[in-house]
Structure formats: structure tokens, C-alpha cells
Amino acid sequence: MLVLENLSFGYTDQLLFKDVNVEINRYDKIGFVGRNGSGKTTLLKIIAGEIDDFYGTRIINPNIEIGFLPQDINFIKEGESAFSLCKKAFSHIENKFDELSRLSSQIEDPRNQEQYDRILSELSVSDDVEFEHKIKIILSNLGFLQSQFDKDLTLLSSGYKVRAFLGYLMLFKPDILILDEPTNYLDIDAIKFLLDFLKSYEGAFIIVSHDKQILDTSTNKIWDLYAKKLYIYNGCNYTDFLSRKEQYLTNLEAQAKNQQQKIDQQMKFIERFRYTESKASAVQSRIKQLEKIEKVEIPRESNISFAFHGSTNQFSNILSCENLTFGYDNEENGNILLDNIHFSIIRDDKIFLIGRNGIGKTTFIKLLVGELQPKRGKVTRHNNSKIGYFEQNNTFFTLENTNLFDYFASSDFAASMSLQQIKSYLGQFGFSGDDVYKDISVLSGGEKVRLLLAKILYPQPDILILDEPTTHLDIATKEILIENLKSFSGALFIVSHDIDFISRLANKYITIINKNLVNLDNISDYFLLKDLSKENVLRIKNKDNKENSKKKILSTNKRQQIQKEIEEIELQLKDIESQMQKLQDQFSIKNDYESISNLSSEYKRLENKYENLFNRLNELEQMLN
């Protein structure tokens, strides 16, 4: 479908990547990996046709549709809503309905009748006729509330714009789908939804992601942009790729070593007999052989490493909440968001707060660090414990005309540090030499995260409170962060949607359901609990009373009432299924626009009713478990 030949990008003396030769086929599911700043986004833009000042050739089938999700969306027009944007994926259906309407007023002409019948026939077998329902399902699963479907996207955050355009692409289903870090603004539910979508995607896709789960379970090919060259690993997922890359580099090193030994032997012969007249011919022959040798080159990238440590304090209690209640004054944010929470954090805790967007995770963090004040209750910081806080949308990420040295030196604690001490400390986080004078605006996402970590870790905090710390990291940097957090000597309280990151660090899992914290045994429990009704939620105030907390016990009478309602709903569902099947049969019989439209409306009504009843059935069955 698309071919890149001998493609390079950058300046002659400083290429970002070179000699890229690759072909994208219809069923390729490509995971694209590489360091931050290696050129992944640039190569994606070239493939998508957004950059054309490159060396080499890009060949594309003219009938191929490409859909590209960039990391930042800046092309949404004023007044565009998530719903209206997604609706554009079905412009072909709307055009057909418009054409039907036009033809119906000129139906006397036999040619119009023939065209009318053809379009009607196409619509009767199309799965896209009920596109409005599909749009609502996609947007809901990507974290939009129904009240946000028609809101002007230009008035919403970057995350909403990215999710809306992702929804459009999921509905449009291009031949080649290109996704650049699509999970950056997705919650844990939406990531699972995207993963399921990718697993069943019928076209080709290329995805850049730091999410190992996605790369492991949805891909069949890995592109590795490493040391300015693109390496292709066919028929493997990310985990397979790691072992194959290691083996490849090991073999290459062995080849290089063997080659160098042979070169050394030849050089010894040349040096020994260079001035021996009887060996002159043999010496010249070996010199020519050496000139023809194509040296085995081992691709290398500079290593990124950083290390950090927490406080040397030994006290156990760090933070606690009592009767913590918080709500916003405006109704849009839902009045009471967190209600009567009891919670404590001790030194060895590695707690992960997980859940969908909008349930109050960041709000809870801001209450813990003191950026918000509760309506009732209190947060106690024990033993004057020090907090290192990594804010999700830190304003420094968009700073201009400020270099990283000055940013760090502006901290209160840096006043007592010498110039050399600051440089030495920044060196521990991978910033050396002139790098410390780089402008923050040109730093990669991973570099910005490292700089922020350097700043919050210098005071040796007793607890790290991190809100989505992996969002801007490549996989290699994320691995280093994980290893450092494992050995951190204080407590961790982290909000994250990255399942791999969570599962490798957490010793406690919590979520927010019905305005309360709920403890989970593992991350799988979240997906079991997330749809439970308020009656069925296990409410746990803190670790001290966890063992005493019990699910609400249903009386025999209540159980009988629930069982009766379940049986009634099951009968209703069967009846609706029968009605929907009859409507589907009529779609192929009716041949006029008005009838098709009426059938579609009725089918949609039944589908909504079925969905509501089915959700209620799930709630009732959970109550009995």
C-alpha cells in the first residue's frame, strides 16, 4: 500500500534518520519504538504526507486512505464538537440520504428511479445507517459524558481534542491508521477499549506507544528507530522483539570481533614484511584486501541513566485523611466529588490510584498536597513529612525562554548550591555539559520529566505523589524510572493508566467508586468492580478497618425481589431481540426512503432500550453475587 525507499531526513551533516526502506502492507500491525527525539513522529508525518522535504522516495497507492492521530491536535475549528467531528466519518452515508431526498422529488424520470433504487439498496445492507448510535458508543468509551458530546472542542482541554479525533478515526477506519502515543490522554477504561479495537482492526496500523500491553497484544511487527536507522522485526510483538534485538546485537558484536581479529592478523603480516622485497607482492595484495573490507558497524545510542533516593527518615506514618469531603461549587463538576474518606499512607506503601477520567483522582491528589482545601475533614502530614509532587499538567512543560539550569536554580533549596553542585546533580539525571543550558521548550517529553523529577527529589522527600508520570516517556526511560521507584526509600502514591507500570510497582491498589475509596486486591478487580451499583460497592475507609468491612448483606425478601426483576428483564430482552430481528428482515424488503428512515428510528429506540435493560440486568446479578 505504501513504500519508502532510501528515505533520510535532516541536514546533511546531522541526519535525524537515514536510509529507511520499508513497505506497509494491508495486514501489518506495527508497533513503532525508539528513544524520545529519535525521529519517530517525523517519520510518521512523512508517511502521513504531512512532511515532504525529505531525501528519498515515498510511493503510495492513490486509492489508499491514511488517518493520522498526532500527539497534539491544533486543527479543530471553532464550534466543532466531538459529535460533529465523528459524524464526518459517515459523510458518505449522509451524502446518500441527501441524494435520496433529491431524487425523490424527481422520481418521474426512470433514470432517477433506477439511481434511487440502487442507493436505497446500498443503504439497506450498510452497517453505517445507524451511525449516530455508533458515535455515542465510541465517545462514551473514550471518556466523554453525554453532556459533552455537543460542546465546542476549542473550549475543552487538549485531552478532549485528541480523544475526539481518535474517535473519528476509529469510526472512519482508514486503510492505514497511524497513532502517535494515543494513550497519553486515555484513562484505563479507554485504553482497554482502544486495545480491543486494535486487536480486531481490519486495516493496517502503526502505533507509537510506551504501553507494553498494547505493543504486546495487538502488533505483529516492530519498527525500531535505533541509532538513526530503522530496523524491521517481522512476525513478533514487543517482548519477542526485545529478545531478537538483543540476539541481533550480540551476533553483530561477535561478527565485528571476528572481523577485527582477521584485520589485526593481516596488519601484523603487512607490518612484518612491509620492507621485505620478496614479500612486496603479498603485502600489496593484503593491503588491497583490507581496503575492500566493509567494516561491521555496531549501532549504538548513548545511554540514559538517572538515580534518585528518598529521605533517610525512619518514621512510619506519613499522611492520613479523616472524614475528607470535597466538592466544587458549580454543578457541572458534580457538587460532592469525594465523600467522608478515611485513608492513611505509611512508609513502605506503593499505592496506585486507578480509574476512569473524571472520578476525582487528580482532585484527591491536590487535597493530599494542599493545593485544594476540603469542605469537611482534614489531611494530616505526620512528622513534618516532605512531599515530592509531580503534577500532570505542570506549567513548566510549556515554559519558553528558560533554560533547564535556570529553572532548577530558581528553586529555594538551590540557593545554597554552587554552580558545580547544580551541574553535578543534574548530571545524575542525564543532563551533562552544555545540555544544562538547553531551553525547556526544545526538550523532549522524557527530558522534561527527568528535569521535574530532579527538582522534586533533591529535598529527599518522604513520599512521592506522582500524577501520570509516564505520559511523556519512551519505553527505555520508563524502565529506568520503574527501577528507581522500586528502590525508592519512601512511600509512593501514584495515579496511572499504564497497566505494565502499575503491575510492576504497586503493593496496594485503590479506586474511587461512588465518591469513596475502594481497596482492590489487584488490577483485575478494577474491571470487575467498575460497573457495580452503589448498593453493591464494598466501601473501605482505610487499611485499619479493611478486615471489618463487609458487603451489604441482602435479606431473603430482597433477594426474591431482585430475582423476580431479573426474570422480568430477561423476558423483555427476548421480546426486544425478536422485534429487532423482524425490523432487520424488513430492511431488505422496503424500498423507499421514508420506510427505511422509520425502520431505522424504531430499531434505534429498541437498541437503546435493550442496552439499558441489559445494564440493569448486570447490576442486579452483581447484587446477588
Query: What secondary structure does DSSP assign to 81-95, as a single string?
Result: BHHHHHHGGGHHHHH
* CATH tag for 317-545 (out of 3.40.190.80, 3.40.50.2300, 3.40.50.300, 3.40.50.10470): 3.40.50.300
User: Does residue 25 contact residue 204 with C-beta atoms inside 8 Å?
Assistant: yes
**Owner of C-alpha cell 484513562:** 187
pLDDT of residue 596: 58
1-65+174-236 and 317-545 agree in CATH topology: yes
Backbone angles phi, psi at 530, to 5 degrees: -60, -25
pLDDT tens-digit series, residues 144-189 = 888 899 999 988 888 899 999 999 999 999 999 999 999 988 999 9
Domain edges within the chain: 1-65+174-236, 80-161, 255-292, 317-545, 556-624
pLDDT of residue 38: 87
Lowest mean per-residue pLDDT among 341-350, 359-368, 432-441, 590-599:
590-599
DSSP run (H or E) holding 350? strand 350-354
Rounded CA separation 457/602 (Å): 60
Q: Which three cell numbers stand for residue 418?
A: 554552587
pLDDT tens-digit series, residues 370-398 = 999 999 999 999 988 999 999 876 655 56
pLDDT tens-digit series, residues 275-328 = 888 888 998 999 999 988 988 888 888 777 777 777 888 889 999 999 999 987
Helices (H), 4-130: 40-48, 82-87, 91-104, 110-124
Give just the sign of the alpha carbon dihedral 151, 155, 159, 161.
positive
Angle, CA 507 vertex, CA 366 and CA 370 arms, to 5°: 15
Q: Does 615 or 345 have the greater pLDDT score?
A: 345
pLDDT of residue 172: 94
Mean pLDDT within 120-141: 79
Lowest mean per-residue pLDDT among 26-35, 48-57, 97-106, 492-501:
97-106
pLDDT of residue 563: 80
Mean pLDDT within 514-542: 65
Q: Which three cell numbers stand for residue 573?
A: 430482552
Average pLDDT, the chain: 84
Confidence grade of residue 587 (pLDDT, cut at 50, 70, 90) = low
Confidence grade of residue 616 (pLDDT, cut at 50, 70, 90) = confident
Highest mean pLDDT among 75-84, 118-127, 431-440: 75-84
Mean pLDDT within 487-510: 93
Rounded CA separation 21/241 (Å): 19
Angle, CA 288 vertex, CA 287 and CA 293 arms, to 5°: 100
Query: Has residue 532 got a pLDDT over 70?
Result: no
Q: Which fold has domain 1-65+174-236?
A: Rossmann fold (3.40.50)
Interhelix angle 131-141/593-624, nearest 10 degrees: 30
